[in-house]
Amino acid sequence: MTGIKPLQDFSAILFDLDGTLVDTAPDLAFALNTLLEQEGHSVRPYDDIRPVASHGSAALLALGFGISTEDKDYSPLQKRFLQLYQDNIARETALFEGMEEVLSALEKANITWGIVTNKPAFLTEPLLDQLNLSHRAACIVSADTTPFSKPHPAPMLHACDIIQHQPESCLYIGDAQRDIEAGKNANMQTVTALYGYLSEQDDPDSWLADTVIKHPRDILQWL
């Protein structure tokens, strides 16, 4: 693990979902490639899709079809993509390797953990139910839980209200620049998950997180 500056004491850890807590890329790739096949397009290699998996349906459809949200074909394709994904939401998705060990250690140490994601609730909640995580997380804040989503601090502060911890005592772990910005905007300590869905264009050093981790088990060093 490479540190930028030492972490202070913390009483709670909040996780981003896609690319940080849970490896959802295989099922997002399945939904996108199924839609591409249905539309008579060539499928995309998984290695092309994985770095985009944290950025939502707009980014995935841009990758697959070369369209933007302004395109007249976008809305019907997005609807079909989301339905395909919803129908296959836990086909291969699982906690990242080592993350179950981390969550169990947090629970044993009585350290609160929760989730703040830009995934909409209609996808977040059934996914966490199927992974048997809903009852374990102290809070689940989705993209539409508050009027704003990350990098706005509102969902982060809402999570703090739910778990009754001060932002300054919370650690937020994410794999995208907006995650680190959201944590900083809420005055939390921040951690970049380098094992997540980073692309070659990403420059995590420029995000200025408090520290970075290369594997979920790196978290165990702080307990």
Q: Return the bridge partners of 23, or none.
A: 94
pLDDT-based confidence at residue 7 (cuts at 50, 70, 90): confident
Residue 9 has pLDDT above 60, yes or no: yes
* Predicted local distance difference test score (pLDDT) of residue 214: 97
Of the candidates 9, 16, 71, 161, the residue annotated as catalytic is 16
Query: What is the per-residue pLDDT across 91-127, written as a single tens digit (0 to 9) for each?
Result: 999 999 999 999 999 999 999 999 999 999 999 999 9
Q: Which long-range contacts (CB under 8 A, 24 or more apart) does 211-214 make?
A: 211/1, 211/2, 211/3, 211/4, 211/5, 211/6, 211/7, 212/1, 212/2, 212/3, 212/4, 213/1, 213/173, 214/1, 214/2
Rounded to whole angstroms, how far apart are CA atoms 139 and 145?
11
* Predicted local distance difference test score (pLDDT) of residue 3: 45
Range 213-219 average pLDDT = 96
Query: What is the per-residue pLDDT across 160-177, written as a single tens digit (0 to 9) for each?
Result: 999 999 999 999 999 999
Q: Quick one: three-class SS letters along 150-179?
A: CCCCHHHHHHHHHHCCCHHHEEEEECCHHH
pLDDT-based confidence at residue 4 (cuts at 50, 70, 90): very low
Active site residue 129: no
pLDDT-based confidence at residue 2 (cuts at 50, 70, 90): very low
Residue 128 has pLDDT above 80, yes or no: yes
Q: Quick one: three-class SS letters along 179-192?
A: HHHHHHHCCCEEEE
Record the tokens describing residue 207, joined without a space: 């995000």
* Predicted local distance difference test score (pLDDT) of residue 8: 75
Q: Is 145 or 223 the better-scoring residue by pLDDT?
A: 145
pTM of the entire predicted model: 0.94
Element of type H or E holding 72: none
Range 135-146 average pLDDT = 98
Among 1.10.390.10, 3.40.50.1000, 3.40.50.970, 3.40.640.10, name the CATH number for the domain at 12-23+93-222: 3.40.50.1000
Of the candidates 9, 18, 27, 179, the residue annotated as catalytic is 18
Rounded to whole angstroms, how far apart are CA atoms 106 and 59?
33
Percent of the chain with pLDDT over 70: 97
Query: What is the per-residue pLDDT across 47-76, written as a single tens digit (0 to 9) for each?
Result: 999 999 989 999 999 999 999 999 999 999
Active site residue 71: no
Residue 27 has pLDDT above 50, yes or no: yes
Is the CB of residue 86 less than 8 Å from the CB of residue 123? yes
Closest CA to 183 of 111, 116, 130: 116
Longest Cα–Cα distance of the chain, Å, equals 54
Residue 42 has pLDDT above 80, yes or no: yes
